[in-house]
Amino acid sequence: MGIFERETVRRKPVGTVRLMAAIGLIAFATNGCVRIFSKLPPGLNSAISIAVLVFGIGFVWKLISHNGESFTYKIIDDLLVVERQLGRSSTSYFSLKLEEVSEIRSYDHKVDRRIPGNRRFKVSRQKGSWHVISFGRRRKEKLLFEPSEKFLEILRAHIEQEKVKA
């Protein structure tokens, strides 16, 4: 089992100062909300304060994980494998047999906006570089990713080889 091609796409790094400023603003807003809600009756006060703290922590976690993630696309034998990296950990997130692919095309917002979040493997907001892979019965299943032109050409060639074999 050998890797034929591998590509990693990374999000543009956000400066540490900007990230810390955003976290500080979130902490300041959370503190302000807790102070405002402290004037409510004791039971309601505690519940809302805990909810605000959980929301603030969740927002900070999303901010950090969103800015630190990258994706690696690999073609291994007859599979397309997508791995997600966050920090030093890497998780194999999705794999697809190349023979099941029915179409690769550019992203079209009108048609493809309903692709579920667990099938979106992109790091930029430039929709011109996004591509959609349709697979499964009647091409109902879709995968959104952001390959380079070189990786896309190699992927198309491997898909054609797998269709010839089948």
Alpha-carbon distance of 124 to 138, in angstroms, equals 29
Taking the C-alpha atoms of residue 8 and residue 151, their distance in angstroms, rounded to an integer, is: 10
- Chain-centre distance for alpha carbon 11: 10
Q: What is the pTM of this model?
A: 0.64
Structure token pair of residue 3: 């890797």
Mean pLDDT by runs of 10 across the 166 residues of the chain is 65 70 82 81 80 81 73 83 76 80 82 72 72 75 81 83 73
